[in-house]
Amino acid sequence: MSDTLLLIEDEPLLRAELVRHFQREGFEVITAATLTEAKHVLLHDQLQPLVVISDMSLPDGNALDLLEAIRSEAIGGEWLFLTGYGGVADSVRALRLGAYDFLEKPCELDRLNLVVAGAARSARAQRQLRERAAAENRRFTPAAFVGRSQAARSVRELLTKLAQAPFSTLLLTGETGTGKGLAARILHYSGARREGPLVEVNCAALPHDLLESELFGHEPGAFTGARGRRRGLMEQAQSGTIFLDEIGELSPDLQAKLLTVIEDRRLRRLGGTSQIEVDVQVVAASNQSLSERVQAGAFRSDLFHRITVFTLELPTLRERKEDLDDLVPLFVAEYNAKAGRSVRIIPSPVWESLRAHDWPGNVRELRNVVERCVLLSETQTFAAQWLQLRPSAPLAQPETAHAEVDQHLRLPLDGSLSLEDMERKIVSEALERAHYNVTAAARLLGTSRETLRYRVNKYGLKSVD
């Protein structure tokens, strides 16, 4: 798309001078002498100018009326107004309507060049954001949840219905790796808030103190090191969607603050005194049973009922293994394109191994396996030796006395172990019982994979995923 400048000016001499000047600057200049001509160019000819330079007062009206009339028509570009008798009321209205700047005639060309260059940079950035959003809209449709199984078809049908519903909160449930992040993106980019931002937060990946500041922002001096004002992620998601992954990891005080924001649509930054209005759609996700955490007193019941107005449970991969026929070729093609490989042939023994595996890590585990095999393939044949599919952790057998004892862990309370030593021993024992699979160990401990991964790294323990 060329850099087009629309010039709306009724004085012929000034119009001709500005046309020559901006053509020398590399713009394709389109002119209009009246608001009627400009409106025809913008709406009938569907011109998408990068910059609009307009006289404020034209023979058939005020140019601000034209800007206000076309703002709902999805016409991009930055508007710059020139006037011989500017007033405070007009300048305030121009800025309120989103005009880039408001200059008085006569304006030196050097200054006009600087302002137009800044407006062009801003318009190009906005154009890139719109193009990126349009690409995401095309990519993240309900069809992106791939699979021929009845479970996959049901999820697609629900995603289609939910994307059309103006919900304020929604909960995605399911084991880790089942595609909750994908579902959140589909709901955003297929929904009414697709033009707004999508902000993703992993509540298990940030410490409590940092998470509060990240979510709700802070004012200068709110805590040690808070030198400036920071807009929180809730504010940054204004008019869009915030995706709170692993919401079950939020501390009780943050749960209370989040509930207040959802209910009142207002928040207060850390260290702040004023309320800030927010209009945000909340999509939460958890691989834990939040209802059980409510019963255990670890999650607020009022927040649970607020975020479960709509609930979508995503099926495990072992429940829809027929979808391997669609997912595997899809991932092979993806990593062929990324790595410049040309894997085309998937031997029957590979398919047998893939279908025999229980996939405790679900679609995420499958994607990682396919990535490894494609990247290490040296021919057009899928490299079977790099599958490395480990057996799933065996399920406990509660009917035997031995299995009942094996579900417990004894720790001395005689002062010989510190709290950190106890935590390390618990994590180490869970990893050993899960054959060093972090996902399975996290399931045994009733926590998230990210939380357990942090402790595995903290204590330097061995793991396999």
The pLDDT value given to residue 429? 84
Q: Any idea which fold 140-313 has? A: Rossmann fold (3.40.50)
Q: Report which residue type is found at 148.
A: R
Per-domain residue ranges for the chain?
4-136, 140-313, 317-386, 401-459
Residues 278, 269: Cα–Cα separation, whole Å = 12
Question: What homologous superfamily is domain 4-136 in, according to CATH?
Answer: Response regulator (3.40.50.2300)
Q: Are 455 and 423 in contact (CB under 8 A)?
A: yes
The pLDDT value given to residue 188? 94
pTM: 0.63
Q: What are phi and psi of 268, to 5 degrees?
A: -125, 125
> Is the fold of 140-313 the same as that of 317-386?
no
The pLDDT value given to residue 139? 78
pLDDT digits (tens, 9 = 90+) for 89-136: 777 777 777 888 888 888 888 889 989 998 898 888 878 777 776 666
Q: Which CATH number fits domain 401-459: 2.40.10, 1.10.10, 2.30.110, 1.10.3720?
A: 1.10.10
pLDDT digits (tens, 9 = 90+) for 378-387: 899 998 888 9
List the chain residues with pLDDT less than 50. Answer: 1, 393-405
The domain over range 317-386 is classified in CATH as 2.60.40.60 = no
3-class DSSP assignment, residue 283: strand
Q: Which residues of 437-463 are buried (b: 16+ CB within 10 A; e: fewer)?
A: bbbbbbbbbebbbbbbbebbeeeebeb
3-class DSSP assignment, residue 47: coil
